[in-house]
Amino acid sequence: MSTSTEITSSKSSIENELAATPIVLTIAGSDSGGGAGIQADIKAISATGGYACSVITALTAQNTQGVTGIYPISGEFVEQQLDAVFSDLNVIGVKVGMLSDSDIIHSVAKKIKQYAPQYLVVDPVMVATSGDLLLQASAIDILKSELLPLADVITPNLPEAAALVGGKVPKNEDEMIAMISELRQLGAKSVLLKGGHLEEDTNSTDLLILSDKVERLSNLRINTRNTHGTGCTLSSAIASYLAQGYKLQDAVSLGKEYITQAIIYADKLNIGKGHGPVNHFYSR
């Protein structure tokens, strides 16, 4: 009898442990090369302690050298995927990445409002590391009006931030700081302005823009060309840490530390002929 009780107790304990795994949904495009998009998101969420599920918004013909084709998924089918995930899984955090047109942005925003996940991280993906355009220009206004105001944090890089506020791409940290007021006006609860494009700087400095203050996060810049998928990876890690219960500032700090380590170890991989991916599972 005691053995049966012990087995039942052990089973219950295992079930509770499994149930505690935070579920994080990534809504993004697929990268056939595996370094960015949905593929990078799933790796980052898994490596940082979450359970990853996904909704694909577009298929890309893509590798480390560039994007040669984009095939958008219909808004209707994106909604079907979202209904399937939310109706069954207890999604705590959502990361949104590539949304290639207005129809898909409408669909995603509608379902986010309907299901109201606890945390929403939006990476306003517009340009790939290779320089290829991933978001139609006509869709930017829809993104700003319908989706960004729902976010706990948005994570634009400097070209994306410039596109969102209709300004010039910052060339130094002072010009990043000058964008703060306009970025706050986008309506998200916070903005992580990423300074990775300031390649001449010794450090890679990001600004976490909150409603009442700005926090500066800086790490030594890593000299590597293998940075494919950095934005996808960082935003997914932040969503994963938020879903695990970390406060926003801690989730962002942990996410930045994770992507820094993934970049440090990127050269241990030998993937492709162009900008290779970061090393998501560097600790293994």
Hey, which residues are catalytic here? 194, 227, 229-232
DSSP code, position 127 = B
Nearest 10 degrees: CA dihedral of 226, 231, 233, 239?
170
The encoded tokens of residue 73 equal 């998924």
The encoded tokens of residue 184 equal 């706050």
Phi-psi region of 276 (alpha: psi -120 to 50; beta: other; left: phi over 0): beta
CA distance readout (Å), 261 to 139, 222, 280? 34, 10, 9
Q: How far apart are CA 269 and CA 226, in angstroms?
A: 9
Nearest partner of 96 among 217, 198, 231, judged by Cα: 231
Q: Are 134 and 102 in contact (CB under 8 A)?
A: no
Q: Are 37 and 27 in contact (CB under 8 A)?
A: no
**Max Cα separation, the chain?**
73
DSSP code, position 157 = B
Q: Does residue 271 sit in helix, strand or coil?
A: coil
Q: How far apart are the first and last CA of the chain?
A: 42
